[in-house]
Chain A
């Protein structure tokens, strides 16, 4: 049943406008950080039901000044972060954004976040379109 819904959605998504996309998002959440913190990170599972790779190039959110894709690096035992131009989800595949890996950084929080609050994130996609997700603020990764 799910399979037919997916196929149906896929077909519909090809005929619909720029707003629709074969990208699905599961369990989006944002790290709750202490009141003095300026930045935080958003995590989620991106599922690409389409036949071409999709890239998340950034986007925007009311909650922060900037939403940017980042990867986690590990060099000589040190962990760090690096800006990247996009995060790519393979065709028919998925990309998991999680602490210690790829994520979307929220730079410059406009106000402190409260655990349980829902933050809308508008993801900018390549080759086109946007996708709005509601990420829940949490102190720990939500259990699957």
Chain B
């Protein structure tokens, strides 16, 4: 190719680069406005979406759906009561987060724990386990279809492990350990990876901002 002919492509390339930068810039700007206020969040959604309205049973045996919490901010995680370290850690972080919330916000936030082990986690067992970490926490359970729906819609998964040879009720459940934040307007705002949960003050700040944004 003659040296001077590449100049023909220079301007179109320049234009293409500008357009690409423009698109990237616009997408970045369209991220949730609160996104840039917090440094600890890893798995921010590109744009908050309407939270999937799950229908489950709470630990008092009442039918509950997520829409009932409109006006409140919800933080929930999946787990199971036979979990010896991940779920106790999650709920103890939730307790620390709840404590770190400002007084005017604390009662507007609900912490939920959804059991993905309906075989063993009856409402009664859930209640005893969940309220141990904080009497205000709410445990939820449901049938396999409902639970699979929740997991799928929140981009989570769980699988039951192999039971012990001598006891079919002795098994672990591998599960996504993220915590999901739903705003008072019913939008799914963010997912905190398990590793971020010890940052109680920082997460409490996020939640306070979200809770106060309710009209």
Taking beta carbons and an 8 Å cutoff, which residues of A are in contact with B? Answer: 31-41, 72-73, 75-81, 99-100, 103, 105-106, 139-140
The number of A-B residue pairs with CB atoms under 8 Å apart is 83
Report if A81-B88 is in contact (Cβ < 8 Å); known contacts: A34-B132, A35-B128.
no
- A81–B128 Cα distance when bound, in Å, is 24
Taking beta carbons and an 8 Å cutoff, which residues of B are in contact with A? Answer: 81-82, 84-86, 88-89, 92, 95-96, 125, 128-129, 132-133, 156-159, 161, 172-178, 194-195
Q: Is the CB of A139 within 8 A of B128?
A: no
A residues less than 8 Å from B178 (CB atoms): 77
- Pull 12 A–B residue pairs with CB atoms less than 8 Å apart, ordered by A: A31-B88, A72-B86, A77-B176, A78-B174, A78-B175, A79-B175, A80-B173, A80-B174, A81-B172, A103-B85, A105-B85, A140-B92
B residues less than 8 Å from A72 (CB atoms): 85-86
- A81–B85 Cα distance when bound, in Å, is 9
- A15–B209 Cα distance when bound, in Å, is 61
- A76–B175 Cα distance when bound, in Å, is 9
3 closest cross-chain pairs (CB), A and B: A80-B174, A99-B89, A34-B132
- A140–B85 Cα distance when bound, in Å, is 11
B residues less than 8 Å from A41 (CB atoms): 84-85, 88
Q: Is the CB of A77 within 8 A of B157?
A: yes
A residues less than 8 Å from B175 (CB atoms): 78-80
- A77–B195 Cα distance when bound, in Å, is 12
Given contacts A39-B82, A79-B175, A81-B172, 12 further A-B contacts (CB under 8 A): A35-B132, A78-B158, A78-B176, A78-B177, A79-B194, A80-B175, A99-B88, A100-B89, A105-B84, A140-B92, A140-B95, A140-B96
